[in-house]
Structure 1
């Protein structure tokens, strides 16, 4: 057979354990985020004060809620090229980090941001509650269509002034392309416009989760990040990953080779004061981030990173 094993074998996220096995139809899961008043700003009744931007200006008002639910359509299993149709653990942890920041600070309020490997769109849906513009990027019609559908069915959660764009971004290709439409082989709705590029120049934050699992893709990811983070204003990347272990014949041991490839790109803050063209990162202590979604186990192999590019 000409197809590789990675295109034939199916994988399943731990998040989908308990979903009906064997179904080939997209499955709709309800992800409910509940709030603990000990960690957040609450009103006199103990309800969470969630920031919402006013319709007519950039000031923020607050509304009360104990919880809210995001409805996500996803596959229960997929081949490796279509893992973006599933929800993965590091995406949930990074989503909780974003939710915590939006509820305890104004860091993400009114921002323009971009997500790489957005998959089902869960993280971008949370960002759309407070951001000015959100670009959700991924590769392949199936993944983009599913992401766009999830954006649509959760649009009632968004700030009314927030613009959410679903766009194709293939890390193996050059980006940005000045004349995007002449190179676009997918539906026009996922192609980049010149206005999109102007907005992304002003994006202050990039997000990515569960994109570290293949060395070739990791190399392509950091090539894309070099271009993106040299483009326009200074940008900060928040990245969530899960160490994945495999038996290595070279090492004769169980190792996390994908994680090692990732770490080869990252330097500590104190090690590159005079260097240019390097990624500088620090780990975020996820024990300080409340678990707003109770129905999953974070485990010990999920990490969050804050990364900058010195150029």
Structure 2
């Protein structure tokens, strides 16, 4: 598609608001914020679920964003089941993955009356256009968010 525009903007999950300070690199102008809420239909996050606090912050940011969007949207998330031996369990566990999945379950049960969240895994059987090792521990998830009528 010729003529497209790519803009890079800061999205700090640990902040409650978008940075609109014009002195800060990659900050949001009022036009950018308006465009975000008026036209966004797809959100992507890849390889960002490895710390529980950051996972919490990402899902809270996702919730804040989708509550302000004017259109239904789809979030595509990738997560890797990182196996770790923990002294607490004296076993190999995937604690960050389990925390991620608990957030997906919370979204599915969310009943705030304004939005409906449909969560489903994405089968990774699509053609590979780049050469990479597709490991079994990598999962893709789709969250479809739409207003409740």
Quick one: distance in 2 between partners of 1:206 and 1:267? Answer: 19
Contact 1:267/1:278 (8 A) holds in 2: no
The reply to whether residue 290 of structure 1 matches residue 132 of structure 2 is no
RMSD: 2.4
**Structure 1 length normalisation: TM-score?**
0.42
TM-aligned CA distance change 1:310 to 1:254, over 3 Å: farther
Distance, in Å, in 1 between the alignment partners of 2:59 and 2:117 is: 9
Mapped partners of 2:100, 2:7: distance in 1 = 28
Q: Structure 1 residues 279 and 251, CA, compared in 2 at 3 Å: closer, same or farther?
A: farther
Residue 175 of structure 1 corresponds to: 17
Give how far 1:252 is off.
1.2
Q: Please say if 1:217 is aligned against 2:54.
A: yes
Structure 1 gaps, min length 5: 1-51, 53-158
Deviation at 1:275, TM superposition (A): 2.3
Calculate the TM-score normalised by the size of structure 2. 0.84
1:71-82 superposed matches below 5 A: none
- 1:263 is matched with 101
Tell me if the contact between 2:73 and 2:146 (Cα under 8 Å) persists in the aligned partners. Answer: no
For 1:223 and 1:310, the matched residues in 2 are separated by: 17
Cα deviation code 1:173-231 (max 9, x no counterpart): 11235xx116x5x33xx110011011111201101100111111101000100111111
State whether residues 205 and 237 of structure 1, in contact with CA within 8 Å, keep that contact through their aligned partners in structure 2.
yes
- Partner residue of 2:86 out of 226, 242, 248: 248
8 Å contact from structure 2 (residues 72, 146) kept in 1: no
Matched, 1:203 2:43: no
Q: Does 1:237 align with 2:79?
A: no
- Counterparts of residues 46-65 of structure 1 (less than 5 Å): 52=1
Distance in 1 (CA, whole Å) between partners of 2:55 and 2:146 is 19
Provide Cα deviations, 1:229-278, integer angstroms capped at 9, x if missing partner.
11122221011121111111221111111111110111399x64x82377
Q: Which residue of 2 aligns with 1:131?
A: none
The runs of 4+ residues in structure 1 deviating greater than 4 Å are none
| Structure 2 residue corresponding to 1:299, chosen from 111, 135, 148 | 135
Q: Could you tell me whether the CA contact under 8 Å between 2:46 and 2:79 is conserved in 1? A: yes
Segment drifting more, 233-242 vs 276-285:
276-285
Give the structure 1 partner of residue 63 of structure 2.
226
Equivalences, count: 143
With over 3 angstroms needed to count, the CA separation of the structure-2 counterparts of 1:278 and 1:249, relative to structure 1, is: farther
List runs of 5+ in structure 2 lacking aligned partners. Answer: none
Larger of the two Rg values belongs to structure: 1
